[in-house]
Amino acid sequence: MELKTMKQEYTISLFTEDHIGILGQITIILTRRQINIDSFTASESAVKGVYLLTIVVKTTDEMIQKVARQMEKLIDVLKVFVHTDDQIIYQEIALFKVTTNGLMSGNVIDHIVRAHNAKILEVSPEYMVIEKTGHKTEIAELLNQLEPFGLLQFAKSGRVAITKQVKELNSYLKEMDEANRFKTEPTLN
C-alpha cells in the first residue's frame, strides 16, 4: 500500500475568531469527504480574541491536505496547521466515578492510582472520583482496571495539543497582516 493512501491519525489545529457557525462549516467540510471526527476540543489560544479548535481525524495525507486548504478558505479561519503525533505534545483528561465499597478493600485504590499516575479528586461514602491525564491508551488501561470495581460514570475530554515547532501563531498573524497591508498599499510610479 502506498503511503499517500494509508490512513493515519492527524491533529488539526485551527485558529479562528469567535464567530457563530464555524463548527458547522468545519463539520460540513469533513462530512463531504467522509472523515469522522475522533476528538474535538475548543479553547482560547495565547492570542487574545483567537480561539483554538483541536480536531483529531484519521485519513490519508492527500485528503488531510485538501481538507486543511478548504478549512483555511473559511472567512473566520485565521490559520490551519496539520500535525502527526510526533510533531505535537498532547494529552487527554478523564474522570472516573467508581463505587467506594469496591475500591476500599485493602490497598487496591492506592495501588491503582499510583500505578496509573492518577489522582483522587473526591471521596464520599457512595463513590470516589479519580482523574487521569494522559494518552488514549493510558486512559483505556485505567478504565479496564476500574471497571470490575463498579464504574458508575466515565467522561473523557478531546485532545489538547501544542506543537513542538518554535514559530507560534503570533508570527503567522504578523506575517499575514504585513502581507495584507502590502497588497492594499498603493504603488508609486
Calculate mean pLDDT across residues 32-57: 92
More confident residue, 111 or 5: 111
Mean pLDDT over the full length of the chain? 86
pLDDT confidence of 186, banded at 50, 70, 90?
low
- Provide DSSP, 126-178: SEEEEEEEE-HHHHHHHHHHHGGGTEEEEEE---EEEES-S--HHHHHHHHHH
Q: pLDDT at residue 1 above 60? A: no
Calculate mean pLDDT across residues 82-91: 93
Among 31-35, 109-113, 116-120, 183-187, whose mean pLDDT is lowest?
A: 183-187
Calculate mean pLDDT across residues 45-66: 92
Upper half-sphere CA count for residue 38 (Cβ side, 13 Å): 13
Among 72-81, 87-96, 175-184, whose mean pLDDT is lowest?
A: 175-184
Q: pLDDT at residue 19 above 90? A: no
Q: What is the pLDDT of residue 20?
A: 84
Rounded Cα distance between 29 and 67, Å, is 7
Q: What is the pLDDT of residue 166?
A: 61
pTM of the predicted protein model: 0.78
All residues at 6 or more sequence positions from 9 whose CB lies less than 8 Å from its CB, including other chains: 38, 56, 57, 58, 84, 85
pLDDT confidence of 165, banded at 50, 70, 90?
confident
Contact (CB, 8 A) for 62 and 160: no
Q: What is the pLDDT of residue 143?
A: 97
Contact (CB, 8 A) for 14 and 168: no
Model confidence over 129-163: pLDDT tens digits?
999 999 999 999 999 999 998 899 999 999 999 88
Q: Which domains does the chain have, with CATH numbers?
A: 3-83 (3.30.70.260), 91-158 (3.30.70.1150)
Q: pLDDT at residue 89 above 50? A: yes
Among residues of the chain, what percentage have pLDDT more than 90? 63
Rounded Cα distance between 9 and 122, Å, is 34
Q: What is the pLDDT of residue 163?
A: 82
Query: Three-state DSSP class for 107?
Result: coil
Q: What is the pLDDT of residue 106?
A: 62
Rounded Cα distance between 44 and 53, Å, is 9
